[in-house]
Amino acid sequence: MSAAKQTAAPAAKQKVAFSADKIVWHPSPLLGQVTLVTTCNADGSSNVAPKSLVSMMVFHPPVLALGCNLTHVTAQNIRRGGDFVVNIPGAELAEKVWASHELPHPRPIEAAGLTALPAEQVKSPRIAECKAHLECVCERELVFGEEVIFLGRIVAASIDREALEAPDPYAYLRLFAFLEEKTYGVVERAERL
C-alpha cells in the first residue's frame, strides 16, 4: 500500500478507572430521562414521584422498565395496584419535579402543585401539566436486594397535540435528563442524519 493511501490511526486516549456506582458519577456517562410516575395509594388517592430510571425495553408488545426502591411508596403502590403512569414533563417543570422529591408521603399530585387527569386505561392518574403519558400495567418485577425493576406493558399513550403539530416536536417537548445530584440536561432540538 502506498504511503498516500495510508491513514494514521487516531491517537489513543488515555482511559482511567471510573466508579461503577451511578450515585457518584461525575460526569455521568448515562442519561436518565426525568419523569413523574403516578400511582394510586391504598385509599385511592394519587401519589407522584420523580423517577429517572425509566427506559423502553421491548417494542412489541411495548414494554418499559422502571427502577425503584422497594421501600418507596411508588413500588408498594405498583405491587398492590398493578399499574402506573409515566408522565413526561418538559424542562419548564424541572423545579417542581425536584421539589416534589422533598414532599412527605402520602404525596398527592396536587401537593406538588400539579393537576390530576384521569387516565384512559388504568386507575393511576396522568398529570395535566406533563406533555406525554405512558399508561402501564405491571407485567413482571425483578428484585435486586432493596431495588426493583418493574416491567410495564404500555396499554395507552397520550401526548399534547402541540407536540405533533410543532415544526420540531423535541423543541416543544423539552425533555430533560438527570445527570447527577441537582444537575440535569435539556433536549432543545432534534438533529437528523
What band does 1 get if pLDDT is binned at 50, 70 and 90? Answer: low
**Best CA proximity match to 74, nearest among 98, 56, 52, 96:** 52
Instruction: Quote the pLDDT of residue 11.
Output: 84
- pLDDT tens profile 109-134: 999 999 999 999 999 999 999 999 99
Q: Is the pLDDT of residue 4 over 90?
A: no
| 93 in Cβ contact with 130 (< 8 Å) | yes
Q: Is the pLDDT of residue 3 over 80?
A: no
Percent of the chain with pLDDT over 90: 83
d(CA 98, CA 178): 10
Instruction: Quote the pLDDT of residue 5.
Output: 62
Domain extents for the chain? 31-186
Averaged pLDDT score across all residues of the chain: 94
DSSP 42: T
Q: Is the pLDDT of residue 2 over 70?
A: no
What band does 58 get if pLDDT is binned at 50, 70 and 90? Answer: very high
- pLDDT tens profile 28-53: 999 999 999 999 999 999 999 999 99
| 153 in Cβ contact with 61 (< 8 Å) | yes
What band does 10 get if pLDDT is binned at 50, 70 and 90? Answer: confident
CATH 3.30.428.10 fits 31-186, yes or no: no
Residue 175's H or E segment, with its range, is none
